[in-house]
Amino acid sequence: MGLREYTIRRVIELIISLFLFSTISFIIFRMMPGDPSSLYLEEGILEPGMREAIRHMLGLDKPLWEQYLIYLKNTFTFTFGVSFLYNKPAIDIILSRKLLNTLALLLSSHGLAIVFGILLGVWSAWRRGKVFDISSMLAAFILYSLPVFWVGIVMLLLFSVKLGLFPLAGTITAGLTHENILQYMADYLHHLILPATAITLIRLGGDYLITRNTMITVIGEDYIKTALAKGVPEKIVVWKHAARNAVLPIVTWVGLEIAVIFSGAVLTESVFSWDGIGKLIYDAALWRDYPILEAAFFIIIFVTLVANFLTDLAYAALDPRVKYD
Residues 51-90 that bind other proteins (CB under 8 A): 51-54, 56-57, 61-66, 68, 82, 85-89
Shortest CB 24 distance to other proteins, Å: 7
Q: Which of 294, 287, 285 is nearest to 266 (CA)?
A: 285
Rounded Cα distance between 196 and 199, Å, is 5
Q: Does 97 bind other proteins (CB under 8 A)?
A: yes
For other proteins, the binding residues in 185-214 under the rule CB under 8 A are 213
For other proteins, the binding residues in 139-168 under the rule CB under 8 A are 141-142, 144-150, 153-154, 156-157, 161-162, 167-168
Rounded Cα distance between 56 and 50, Å, is 10
Q: Does 320 bind other proteins (CB under 8 A)?
A: no
Stretch that binds other proteins, among 110-118, 181-189, 286-294, 309-317 (CB under 8 A): 286-294
Rounded Cα distance between 193 and 207, Å, is 20
Give, in order, the Cα–Cα distances in Å from 317 to each of 266, 305, 307. Answer: 36, 18, 15
Q: Does 44 bind other proteins (CB under 8 A)?
A: yes
Q: Does 262 bind other proteins (CB under 8 A)?
A: yes
Stretch that binds other proteins, among 18-26, 109-117, 184-192, 243-251 (CB under 8 A): 18-26
Do 277 and 265 meet the contact criterion of CB atoms below 8 Å apart? yes
For other proteins, the binding residues in 220-259 under the rule CB under 8 A are 220, 259
Neighbours of 29 (CB within 10 A): 18
User: Would you give the binding string for other proteins spanning residues 100-129, x where CB under 8 A is met?
Assistant: --------------------------x-xx
Q: What is the CA radius of gyration of the chain?
A: 24
Task: Candidates 46, 69, 189, 322: give the one binding other proteins (CB under 8 A).
Answer: 46
- 136 Cβ contact partners less than 8 Å away, ≥ 6 residues apart: 120, 124, 208
Looking at the Cβ atoms of 34 and 233, the one nearer to other proteins is: 34
Query: Of all helices (H) and strands (E), which one includes residue 187?
Result: helix 181-219
In single-letter form, the type of residue at position 173 comes to T
Q: Does 316 bind other proteins (CB under 8 A)?
A: no
